[in-house]
Structure 1
Amino acid sequence: MGNKLRNIFISILAILVLVLTFNLQNVKAATNYTSSDMITEAKIVNQDKTYTVGGTVPLTYEFDSTGHQLKNNDTLTIDVPSPLSVTSGSQFDVTDDNGQVIGTAVLSDNNQIIVTFNENVEELESVQGTLSINTGVNVDRKAQIGTNNVDFPVKDNQTQTSILKTKTNDKNISKKGVLGKDSQGNDIVTWTILVNRNELDFGNLTVSDQITDTNLAYVPGSVVVQEANWIDKDAGTYKRGNTVSADKYSLTETGSGFDLAIPKSGKQMYAIVFQTKVTDPDKLTDGTVFRNDASMTGSFSGNNGNGTQIIEDSASGKVSNETNSGNGSGTKLGSVVLTKNDEQNNNVLEGAIYDLYKVGSTTPLQTGLTTDTNGQIKVSSLSAGDYYFKETKAPSGYQLNENEIPFTITGQTTTPIKVNGVDEPEKEELGSIVIRKIDAETGYKLAGAEFNIVNDQGVVVGTITTDRLGIGHYYNLPIGHYKLVETKAPQGYLKGQDVEFDVTSNNLTPELISVENEKEVTGEDSYSIVLQKFDTDDMTLGVPGAEYTLYTTDGTALMSGITNELGVIRIDNLKPGNYYFQETKAPQGYDLNPDKILFTIKENDNEAGVGTLITSDPQTKSEPGDNNNGNEIDPSEPGDTDEGNSEEPNTEKPNVEEPDDNNGGLIVDPEHPTANNDDDDQIGLIPNPTNPDSTTNNSGANNEKLPQTGNNSNLLASLLGLVILISIVYHKQRQA
Structure 2
Amino acid sequence: MKKDRIFKKTKRLFALFTCFLMIVTNCMVSFAADTIKASNTPVEDYGILTSVKITTDSEGKNEVVNGQKVHIYGSVYVNYTWKLNGHTSGDIVTFDLPDSLSAGSKAISFYLYAPDGVTKVGLVEVPKDSNHATVTFLDDPDKDGDYLKDHTGITGTMQFAAVWKSGIETGKKEITFVYDTTSKSYNIDIYNDQGDDAPILENINKWGFYYNDDGNKYVSWEVDINSALKSNVDFSKGTFTEQLGPGQKLIEDSIKIVRRYWDSSSSSYKFERLRMDGKDYPAFTQYIKSFTMTRDANNNATGFYIEFVDGPINGEFMFGFDSVTLDGVKLGPTEYTNYAKFTKNDSEVYEVNVNSIDRSGRGDAVGYMTNVKLKKIDEANHSALAGAEFKLVKGTTEDGEIVRDHLITDTNGEIKINSLSEGTYSLVETKAPIGYKLDTTPQTFEIDYNKADSNRNLYIDLFMTNALLDNSIQITKNYEESDEKLEEEDLAEFTIFREDGTVVGKMNRTGNVYTYKNIVAGSYYIEETKVPATYVKAEKLYFIVNPDRSIQITYAGTSATNVTQGSQYDVSAIIENKIHRGRITLVKHEFKNRDKELQGAIFKLQKKELGTYVDVEGKTNLITDKNGKIVVEDLLPGEYQFIETKAPEGYLLDKTPIVFQIGPNSYEVVTYKSNRKKLVPKVKGSKELNPNIKETKTTKTTSQLKAATTGNKVTAPKTMDNVNTSVWIVLFVFSSGCLCLLRKKKKI
Please, what TM-score do these two structures have when normalized by structure 1? Answer: 0.34
Q: Which has the higher contact order (CA 8 A, sep 6+)?
A: 1
Please, what TM-score do these two structures have when normalized by structure 2? Answer: 0.34
